[in-house]
Structure 1
Amino acid sequence: MHAAETAPTLHPWLVHAKELRVRAGRHPAVDGLDLTLTAGVQGVLGPNGAGKTTLMRALSTVVKPASGSLTLLGAQVDGRADLREVRRKLGYLPQQFGFYPRFTVREFVAYMAWLKEMPKTAIPDAVQRAIDRVGLTTKADAKMKTLSGGMLRRAGIAQAIVNDPELLLLDEPTVGLDPEQRLDFRDLLRDLGADSCVMVSTHLVEDVVAACTDVILMNEGRLLFQGTPDDLIARGGQGDAGDSPAERGYSALLRQHRSNA
């Protein structure tokens, strides 16, 4: 059963896109996408150039749609000038995020909480909780410039969740994480998805199967598949490429799409 069928929410859908088109430069990176999502962990899969990152940037309100409609958290955002109220309820980790190297982890996460216009009195506790949840408690007062790649990624996740967002967008969040950290991250995703809509863009099919309630597969800017991990697995067969049932389902769907193109 899909998370959308079981999880309560304040809005009919936390994300609703209809005929959504978004450009990356002159290229239509998202091309006529229809998508509805609510609480749960949504794994976004697809080959390079599928439009995953552009979709995440549109949902985070970083880029504006070229056409179609987009509603986030009950508010229609396409073409809207004032997005502050929606952005307060978002969390976003891009593939590459900027930070001040001399900031400590605590200062960095607190600064991002301030940018999200969190109440001043709530910030210290929220920052500590976010740092604890990503396993950086002992590094809270370390300078950002001293962190390893995996630790930087976890600091990025901490800033994305500090405001307890209703919609959390994580673009390739497991880059640089070691196997043990990836297992911890899966547990965190399950916890976050209980009350929020979490979208995780990744190339790691096994992470999606292990941690996500639903799977979204994109190619060439279009939605090819939306269903549960079990639905994805069921699409594959022994003759399909891949080292696991989920990977075989993934490759079977792409092969079918390309053969029909």
Structure 2
Amino acid sequence: MKPPTSAAEIAPKTYAWEIRATGLRVRAGRTKMAVDGLDLSLGTGAHGLLGPNGAGKTTLIRALATALRPAGGELELLGSPVGGRTDHRALRRRIGYLPQEFGYYKRFTVREFVEYMAWLKEVPPAEIPGAAQRAVERVGLADRADHRMKTLSGGMVRRAGIAQAIVNDPDVLLLDEPTAGLDPAQRLRFRELLQELGRESCVVVSTHLVEDVAAACSDVVLFAAGRLVFQGTPDQLAAAGGPDHPGDSPLERGYSALLINSEQRGGSW
């Protein structure tokens, strides 16, 4: 981790969870409550966020990234409350975020893009070149570091996005569909990186790929209709299903069984 840059960051860790939500409610747009009464606690490790389309996963990730303000309940990140008119600038220095779609200057090289994002995150100027080089190497783009972003394939652009998310060595890393566009070999390397990052940081990965979660995450969070349906290990998720439930693997059968049970209890999406 990079050295602290403010008095607030020098203070010792006094919080039990990197992420803690109690009765959290977050709107998507003006009226729809996409996250509705969520109770969730996440610590150091790799956490897979699963759920069907429209479950509220992206809205939750954006709230955790402080891009959306909670409409109700409580949200704490790294021991600091999120919401209201609080200035989250110091907190954002300690967060890494990869949205589903992100913008970039096409004429920037990969190195320039990652260095620019490090500057925006207020990484100390003297540390930016080294931090950017390490991030580019970790996502396997060292040989493309001086290529312009506009020349990259979709999968390479996604890897550059992961590089900018980790360039500040974040304490909380939020990745929304990070494997979109990656080929099978790149997905395997990403799983290894995810396991590595989860040893020191709280990593939340939103994805539709159950097998990626099983391979890289020690904790699974299943989300539907804006509410928590399940939280446990991949083995516990697999045990929730049976041969009569749809799916090509025990994990997929457990996933479908829990969603069916949630819908029968009154959830919908």
TM-score where L is the length of structure 1: 0.96
Structure 2: stretches of 5+ with no match in the other structure: 1-12
CA offsets, 1:53-74, max 9 Å, x none? 0000000000100011100011
Query: Of residues 11, 19, 42 in structure 1, which corresponds to 2:15?
Result: 11
Q: Which residue of 2 aligns with 1:24?
A: 28
Is 2:79 the counterpart of 1:58? Answer: no
Q: CA deviation at 1:101?
A: 0.4
Deviations 1:213-253 (A, max 9, x none): 10000000000000000110010111110000000000000
Q: Are 2:246 and 1:241 equivalent residues in the alignment?
A: yes
Q: Distance in 2 between matches of 1:80 and 1:125?
A: 34
Question: Counterparts of 1:40-59 in structure 2 under 5 Å?
Answer: 40-59=45-64
2:199 maps to 194
Once the two structures are TM-superposed, the CA of residue 10 in structure 1 deviates from its matched residue by 5.7
Partner of 1:143: 148
Determine if the alignment matches structure 1 residue 120 to structure 2 residue 131. no
Matches for 1:91-110 after TM superposition, within 5 Å: 91-110=96-115
Amino acid of the structure 2 residue aligned with 1:23: R
Inter-partner Cα distance in structure 1 for 2:245 and 2:85: 45
Q: Matched residue of 1:165: which SS?
A: coil
Aligned position for 2:190: 185
Work out the CA distance in 2 between the residues paired with 1:23 and 1:174: 26
Measured after TM superposition, the shift of residue 11 of structure 1 is 2.7
**Corresponding residue SS for 1:224:** strand
Q: Which runs of 4+ in 1 moved over 3 A?
A: none
Alignment of 1:146-157 (within 5 A): 146-157=151-162
Counterpart AA for 2:127: A
Distance 1:252 1:55 in 2: 23
Letter of the aligned partner of 2:28 in structure 1? A
CA distance in 2: counterparts of 1:259 and 1:77, whole angstroms: 33
Name the counterpart of 1:168: 173
User: What residue in structure 1 maps to residue 218 of structure 2?
Assistant: 213
CA RMSD, 1 decimal: 0.8
Structure 2 CA distance, aligned partners of 1:10 and 1:141?
42
SS in 2 for 1:203: coil
* Structure 1: tracts of 5 or more residues without a match: 1-8
1:78 aligns with 2:86: no
Distance 2:189 2:156 in 1: 13
* CA distances 1:190-212 after superposition (whole Å, capped 9, x unpaired): 00000000000000000001100
Letter matched to residue 21 of structure 2: A
Q: How far off is 1:80 after superposition?
A: 3.8
What CA distance in whole angstroms lies between the structure 2 residues aligned with 1:237 and 1:183? 28
Which residue in 2 is equivalent to 1:4?
none
TM-score (norm 2): 0.93
